[in-house]
Copies of this chain bind each other. A is one copy, B any other.
């Protein structure tokens, strides 16, 4: 079902090569309609998670058909991509508007958010896995999956470490670790154990920054 359509015939042809064949006004209406649908889709999938996720399951809950969902969003994976980008942009933007705290504050904010929205993380791992299967289809995912969050963590490190390179290395370490622990939590459902490991990680980070502070 994924390959059936490809993005090309959609109004907002993202990566397809075909020229848009709709009038601009029509495309705009389609975009508005798609945005509105996307908001409702996100509410539904966040409450239901990845289990049983399919256009066929989704369509009746939206009072539409899976054919219309393909028209607006392309394949299931393209829709999941839209969902992941939208959710990530929303939360990164929201957090960027909060006062910059320490790196452990940033870790806590990240963790609380995904702890409260585990489906967001399931979608992330789904796209990760799909990007290994069909790299060409998931270039947008691959090119943004790390950079957006690591830039957020870097902000909390500025002035606390010796170089930009060190900030980047720590930021990506933080992102990898919280994602890895969230994967552990989603797989094992052992929240206590995952949060013990998270607490150790924050201690390690704090010790590092305390040591760096002395040498700054």
Contacts and interface: CB of A to CB of B under 8 A. Distances in A.
A168 B193 contact: yes
Question: What size tier do the contact residues of chain A reach?
Answer: 35 or more
B173 A51 contact: no
A122 B129 CA distance: 7
A176 B180 contact: yes
A183 interface: yes
Interface in A159-216: 165-166, 168-170, 172-173, 175-181, 183-184, 186-188, 193-194, 196-201, 203-205, 207-208, 211
Contacts of A134: 51
Interface in A78-98: none
Q: Which of A135, A176, A179, A205 has the most CB of B within 10 A?
A: A176
A65 interface: no
Please give the count of copies of this chain that the complex contains.
Answer: 2
Nearest to A127: B129
Interface in A24-52: 49-52
Nearest to A125: B129
Contact of A129 (B126, B142, B145, B177): B126
Given A125-B129, A178-B180, 4 more contacts: A49-B132, A125-B125, A128-B129, A207-B211
30 contacts: A49-B132, A51-B134, A53-B133, A122-B132, A125-B125, A126-B133, A128-B129, A128-B186, A132-B186, A141-B187, A142-B188, A145-B187, A145-B188, A146-B187, A166-B200, A168-B196, A169-B196, A172-B181, A172-B184, A172-B194, A172-B196, A173-B197, A173-B201, A176-B177, A176-B180, A176-B194, A176-B197, A178-B180, A179-B180, A204-B208
